[in-house]
């Protein structure tokens, strides 16, 4: 039975090869037999590399971004949001271990991890010496993708890393070798983070000769350093977090956008100078969508915004009038843009802001419409400035921290901080990474909750928002149990060795 399932898994994996871009896809597909080396010729290697890149980029945007922002204070549900992501947004009794969004995060990342494991094993068992050497870059990419996946999962399902308790704090199961019959228990945060470090160390060696490049569509040594920076920030090794972030900054390859034209190139046309890694996207292979923030609806022949979520007043109020992010990521629902259609009426009020950072590249739609599809950018240089600023500050290097923070602020048109302080750094994280799913992780890392996510004044007056205890009045304490997502019920039903996170009980709702 195990052999059959492996063949099915890899055959399905291989079918995906037929749709990858940039001449990476061999025609047809391979069939995997566990008793034979999976990679026996160059086209097999090309197929495996294409496949793991597809799995990585398909785990970007959409639900993989939404959850971390909608649970926090970044957005407010619209009056007619149709309960889309409602349990995640409210985090009340409706948010249970049966939540489909949580199941998607868990299940889809483990499906991808299985493919990365198969790719690593396939690279290790190539019989031809020359082909085996050629496979080392693909193997390095698989280690990088696996490290990324486990860091993502650990941040959601495990406690914030604490060296004093990491040896006993439960994290997620470590699955490094395919076994259909295995029922792994949850590993500790110490073991999971050690594996992330080991995978990054392997990727660093295998990708050492893959130079960084702006908008690289595959992992480079700079992308490895960027992921190291995230990892070290999580474990509070601030010296190494700052060092890796600064190393990427110091390449001089990745330039912060500082004009309207540069913002348009970056966030509309996917042709900017910030991405350390930017996944492939095209008309024939459009990326996952983030259209719940904009969603166009045709009313009387006019395209109108009909979003499920509006940016919170708390978020919008953080930007100064001259901040390029306010101008380029938030469109007013009035005469200079699209009207807002809600509750059967059009609303034309420029004071109501719609979140348009991910409005979408029209090149990915045959009718030239913007539908929330943008090339995924898992790592941008702005994050490296934020990591450097935070890590330097917490490593008692205020001057270096201020320099990194000021560079980002000045390029974005914000007032620069003059006296080093952690609150300004935290606020820049909020303003810069909104929509990228990082708000949840930031609050968790800082040990902070949030006060009520109040709505935009104009949106409230126009009655465009859902209101009440679980919406605009929602608040989280720093020790709220929702900072640990539930282990999905389905996974626990098929694997009795998985324990549940506190607060979710035995709910099967």
Architecture, CATH, for domain 1-187+480-509: Alpha Horseshoe (1.25)
How confident is the model at residue 336, as a pLDDT? 74
- Residues 445/447/451/454 CA torsion (nearest 10 deg): 0
What does the chain come to in residues?
509
Sheet holding 340-342, edge to edge: 296-299, 302-305, 340-342, 345-347
Residue 277 CA: distances (Å) to CA of 171, 376, 507: 27, 8, 40
- For the chain, the domains span 1-187+480-509
Tell me the sheet residues that pair with 275: 380
In which element (H, E) is residue 379 found? Answer: strand 379-380
State which H helix or E strand residue 427 sits in. helix 422-433
Instruction: Give the pLDDT of residue 33.
Output: 61
* pLDDT score at 31: 52
For 9-61, what is each residue's pLDDT tens digit? Answer: 343 343 333 333 433 334 444 555 666 899 999 999 999 999 999 999 999 99
pTM for the full model? 0.93
Half-sphere exposure of 197 (CA within 13 A, CB side): 13
Tell me how far CA of residue 12 lies from CA of 29, 44, 55, 126, 423, in angstroms: 9, 14, 12, 21, 48
CA 68 and chain centroid, separation: 9
User: Would you put residue 62 in left (φ > 0), alpha (ψ -120 to 50) or beta?
Assistant: left
Q: In this structure, what are the phi and psi dihedrals at residue 476, rounded to the nearest 5 degrees? A: -125, 135
Q: What is the pLDDT along the chain (509 residues), one digit of tens a residue?
A: 233 233 333 433 433 333 334 333 344 445 556 668 999 999 999 999 999 999 999 999 999 999 999 999 999 999 999 999 999 999 999 999 999 999 999 999 999 999 999 999 999 999 999 999 999 999 999 999 999 999 999 999 999 999 999 999 999 999 999 777 889 999 999 999 999 999 999 999 999 999 999 999 999 999 999 999 999 999 999 999 999 999 999 999 999 999 999 999 999 999 999 999 999 999 999 999 999 999 999 999 999 999 999 999 999 999 999 999 999 999 999 867 899 999 999 999 999 999 999 999 999 998 888 999 999 999 999 999 999 999 999 999 999 999 999 999 999 999 999 999 999 999 999 999 999 999 999 999 999 999 999 999 999 999 999 999 999 999 999 999 999 999 999 999 999 999 999 999 754 43
Q: Are 192 and 27 in contact (CB under 8 A)?
A: no
pLDDT the model gives residue 17: 35
Quote the pLDDT of residue 182: 87
Which residue bears the tokens 């896809």?
Answer: 25
pLDDT on residue 1: 28
With CA atoms as reference, report the closest residue to 366 among 280, 284, 302.
Answer: 284
Amino acid 401: pLDDT:
98
Residues 6 or more apart whose Cβ sits within 8 Å of residue 134 = 42, 45
């Amino acid at each position: 039975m195990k052999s059959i399932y492996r063949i099915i898994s890899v055959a399905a994996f291989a079918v995906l090869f037929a749709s990858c871009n940039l001449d990476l896809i061999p025609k047809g597909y391979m069939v995997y037999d566990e008793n034979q080396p999976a990679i026996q010729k160059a086209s097999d290697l090309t197929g495996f590399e294409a496949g793991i890149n597809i799995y990585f980029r398909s785990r970007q945007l959409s639900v993989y971004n939404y959850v971390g922002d909608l649970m926090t204070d970044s957005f407010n549900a619209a009056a007619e949001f149709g309960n889309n992501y409602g349990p995640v947004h409210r985090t009340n009794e409706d948010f249970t271990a049966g939540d489909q969004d949580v199941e998607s995060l868990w299940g889809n990342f483990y499906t991808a991890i299985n493919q990365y494991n198969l790719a690593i094993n396939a690279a290790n068992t190539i019989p031809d010496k020359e082909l085996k050497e050629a496979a080392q870059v693909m193997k390095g990419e698989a280690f990088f993708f696996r490290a990324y996946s486990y860091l993502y999962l650990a941040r959601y399902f495990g406690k914030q890393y604490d060296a004093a308790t990491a040896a006993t704090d439960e994290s997620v199961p470590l699955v490094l070798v395919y076994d259909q019959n295995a029922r792994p228990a949850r590993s500790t945060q110490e073991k999971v983070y050690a594996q992330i470090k080991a995978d990054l160390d392997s990727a660093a060696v295998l990708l050492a000769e893959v130079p960084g490049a702006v908008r690289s569509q595959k992992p480079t040594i700079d992308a490895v350093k960027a992921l190291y920076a995230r990892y070290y920030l999580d474990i509070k090794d601030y010296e190494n977090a700052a060092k890796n972030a600064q190393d990427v900054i110091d390449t001089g390859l990745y330039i912060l956008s500082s004009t309207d034209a540069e913002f348009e190139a970056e966030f509309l046309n996917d042709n900017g100078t910030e991405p350390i890694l930017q996944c492939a996207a095209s008309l024939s292979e459009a990326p996952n969508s983030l259209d719940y923030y904009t969603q166009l609806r045709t009313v009387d022949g006019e395209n109108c915004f009909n979003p499920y979520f509006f940016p919170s007043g708390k978020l919008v109020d953080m930007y100064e009038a001259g901040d390029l992010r306010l101008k380029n990521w938030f469109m007013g629902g009035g005469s200079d843009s699209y009207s807002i259609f809600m509750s059967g009426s059009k609303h034309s009020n420029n004071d109501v802001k719609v979140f348009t950072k991910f409005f979408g590249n029209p090149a990915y739609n045959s009718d030239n419409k913007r539908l929330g599809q943008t090339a995924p950018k898992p790592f941008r240089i702005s994050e490296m400035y934020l990591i450097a600023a935070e890590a330097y500050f917490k490593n008692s290097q205020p001057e270096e921290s201020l320099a990194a923070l000021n560079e980002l602020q000045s390029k974005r048109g914000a007032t620069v901080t003059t006296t080093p302080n952690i609150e300004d750094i935290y606020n820049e994280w909020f303003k810069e990474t909104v929509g990228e799913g990082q708000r949840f992780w930031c609050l968790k890392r800082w040990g902070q909750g949030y006060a009520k996510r109040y709505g935009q004044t104009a949106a409230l007056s126009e009655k465009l928002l859902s209101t009440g205890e679980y919406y605009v009045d929602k608040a989280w304490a720093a020790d709220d149990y929702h900072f640990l997502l539930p282990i999905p019920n389905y996974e626990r039903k098929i694997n009795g060795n998985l324990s549940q996170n506190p607060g979710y009980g035995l709910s099967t709702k």
